[in-house]
Amino acid sequence: MPKKDEKRATPAGHDDEVWIAAHNPEHAIRVRSLTAYLQNGGGLKDVRLVQGEDRRWTIFVRLSSRAGEHRVNMFKSDKPKTYRDVDLALACVRDDFGYYGPVTLITELTADTGGAKDPEPKA
Contact in structure between 49 and 103 (CB atoms under 8 Å)? yes
Contact in structure between 27 and 70 (CB atoms under 8 Å)? yes
- What percentage of the chain carries pLDDT values higher than 90? 59
**Could you give the CA distance from residue 103 to residue 76 in angstroms, rounded to a whole number?**
25
- pLDDT class for 26, splitting at 50, 70, 90? low
**Could you give the CA distance from residue 77 to residue 74 in angstroms, rounded to a whole number?**
5
**Could you give the CA distance from residue 55 to residue 11 in angstroms, rounded to a whole number?**
40
* Selected residue with higher pLDDT from 102 and 6: 102
- The string of pLDDT tens digits covering residues 50-107 is 999 999 999 999 999 888 899 999 988 889 999 999 999 999 999 999 999 999 999 9
